[in-house]
Amino acid sequence: MNILITNDDGISAKGIRALAKEVIKKHNIIIVAPREQQSASSHSISINKPLKIRKEKLEDLDCMAYSLVGTPADCTQAGLSLLGENIDLVISGINRGANSGTDVLYSGTVSAATEGALYGVPSIAISMQVDFNKDDEDYGKAAKWISVILEMVQDKCLRDDVVLNINVPNVREEEIKGVKVCRMGKATYKSRYILIEDKEDKVYLKNGIRNESKDKDTDLYFLSQGYVTVTPLHFDFTNFNIIKEITNIIEGK
């Protein structure tokens, strides 16, 4: 397959290198990634400013690679419409940190994959839990899971309007219990705002602790139990469960 690889951590991130080195073993790849860190950029795109694109030479990778001054979704658009040809699949990652539960709404990694699905290209997002106090994570284990899952799904359930969102737990490779296909959980946070400057503009630092999720059938739960999780996502936010009810109320039927 011809695969477009992107991310939101930037083209110099360890995760995208590990992903590319694994995928290139069996597929043709092109890399288009942000020049700088773009985490939590969600699905933003550049509209009123020109895109800067530069060809890159990545060590130990024999493929076309480009850095883009823009968002992850910009990278997918450029990869599909300008820089790549006949792309069969978009893979975004490997993200430094999980993108599970409703965190996918903020995620540049997931949004880069979703951009592919919007334009009819099957897409995968992959992220890995890490200890943010350290810089010693092994992205190789996550890259191996991409190969395993890709072998399972590439001829069966890769669809042009679906994103497979994969998360890998922060445990040793031999401690991973397996893989679970599951629904997205609800991730909320208890936020703290710390005042660091009190002038005309009050300046705050914000941090937060994720609230515990009590549901036992979600990506949040299975990830906490040591499983790789796979959640099929779709860009249509319509709440089909209540659309008839709202139609009856508003249209008077």
Sequence spans of domains, the chain: 2-186+214-251
What's the pLDDT score for residue 207? 82
pTM of the model: 0.92
113 backbone dihedrals φ, ψ, rounded to 5°: -70, -40
Q: Tell me the per-residue pLDDT of 40-83, one tens digit each, with 9 for 90 and over.
A: 899 999 998 889 999 999 988 999 999 999 999 999 999 999 99
C-beta separation of 27 from 44 below 8 A: no
Determine the pLDDT at residue 215: 85
CATH architecture of the domain covering 2-186+214-251:
3-Layer(aba) Sandwich (3.40)
DSSP H helical segments within the chain, as ranges?
Answer: 14-23, 72-78, 108-118, 139-153, 219-224, 243-251
In the chain, which stretches have pLDDT less than 70?
Answer: 253
Instruction: Report pLDDT for 253.
Output: 59
**Distance in angstroms (rounded) separating the CA atoms of residues 75 and 60:** 22
What average pLDDT does the chain have? 93
What pLDDT was estimated at residue 157? 76
Quote the CA–CA distance of 225 and 73 in Å, as a whole number: 31
HSE of 142, CA atoms in CB hemisphere, 13 A: 34
